[in-house]
Amino acid sequence: MLQRGYTYFLFLLLILAGCQNAQVAKQQALYQGNEHLLLGNPSGATTSESNAGNYLMLKPQYALSYSRDRGTPNWVSWHVSPDWLGTADRQDNFRPDPALPESWYHVTGSSYKGSGFDRGHNTPSADRTSSEEDNAATFLMTNMIPQAPENNQQTWANLEEYTRELVEQGMEVYVVMGSYGEGGTGSNGRATSIDNGNVTVPARIWKVLVVLPQGDNDLQRINTSTRVIAVDTPNNNTVNANWSNYRTTVDAIESATGYDLLSAVPKQVQQVIESRTDPGPVQ
Ligand code: MN
Ligand code: MN
């Protein structure tokens, strides 16, 4: 009798393990082949509503991990190539993201009003100009963080501009941007949250660019000589406008956030490109 119970128990464990594997496989299939997650899913985000701190959202224009409690993305990942750049006008239609689970707090276009922080895009408006629809997608509030105006309008704007310059020079770029920590200083002074505590103000804002000559089979072309630019900036109004002052390693961002960036790249290649601070040109 005891032995039969034991057999049933083992059998049950096997079924549970099978279900678990099927879940993981389903999640992986969901984002494998996704252009914006080609280099990996840094935090292992999933589309399960119970994963409120690390909720995966896939859009045609970008992919992100959302934190319900922070009211911001943890990170946003996207690809910049000539296909994404066109002549569409800036739509300026900041709005709640209808793709969020219904019961979650929805940050609105006016949630940041009077806070002293900008509605700072992760995927920039100017990176998505091939159609009005693509541009409008960047104005969903799930793509925003409360960003100190100087950081947004100077430091970050310059880095965004440089990214598109690289594309004009014949490159394509895989970008991941994220933020972490609590407390920044905007034009009304220091704050740890805004919008009645519904939106956390991050302390640090980082970005990683992987730069490749335009071509095919992008993941396979990443090797130990691939240019990787990593920056990590303070979310305040005294930040220097020159983003190159904040260059760091991917490894440093990984240890600050606990993520595994570029996880789809072979480990031996990650080891080399993640431990190097970019020495390249900055304009
Ligand atoms: Mn911005
Ligand atoms: Mn990594």
pLDDT of residue 62: 98
Nearest CA to 270 among 283, 246, 251, 257?
251
Same domain as 80, residue 158: yes
Residue-range definition of the domain harbouring residue 71: 36-273
Mean pLDDT taken over the chain: 94
Phi, psi of 174 (to 5 degrees): -100, 125
Predicted TM-score (pTM) of this structure: 0.91
How far apart CA 244 and CA 282 sit, in angstroms, is 7
- 269 CA distance to ligand 2 centroid (A)? 9
Cα of 267 vs centre of ligand 1, distance in Å, is 32
Residue pointed to by tokens 């939106």: 199
CATH of residue 91's domain is 3.40.570.10
User: Phi and psi (nearest 5°) for 124?
Assistant: -70, 150
15 and 131 share a domain? no
Tell me, yes or no, whether 11 and 92 share the same domain.
no
Residue 5 has pLDDT above 80, yes or no: no
Domains contained in the chain, number: 2
AA identity, residue 246: Y
- pLDDT of the residue at 28: 62
Asked whether residue 197 is domain-assigned, the answer is yes
One domain, residues 41 and 118: yes
Q: Are residues 147 and 18 in the same domain?
A: no
DSSP state of 140: B
Residue 8, pLDDT above cutoff 90: no
- Ion ligand 1: residues, CB < 5 A: 120-121, 152
**What pLDDT shows up at residue 80?**
98
Q: Do both 94 and 1 map to the same domain?
A: no
The answer to whether residue 278 is domain-embedded is no
**Domain-embedded: residue 152:** yes
Name the CA radius of gyration of the chain, rounded.
20
The predicted structure's pLDDT at residue 172: 98
What is the rounded CA–CA span in Å between residue 120 and residue 237? 14
Whole-angstrom distance, CA of residue 57 vs CA of residue 72 = 12
Same-domain status, 91 and 207: yes
In a domain, 282, yes or no: no
| Long-range contacts (CB closer than 8 Å, 24 or more residues apart) made by 4-10 | none
State pLDDT tens for residues 25-74.
Answer: 656 666 767 999 999 999 999 999 999 999 999 999 999 999 999 999 99
106 is catalytic: no
The per-residue pLDDT for range 122-164, each reduced to its tens digit, is: 999 999 999 999 999 999 999 999 999 999 999 999 999 999 9
End-to-end CA distance of the chain: 75
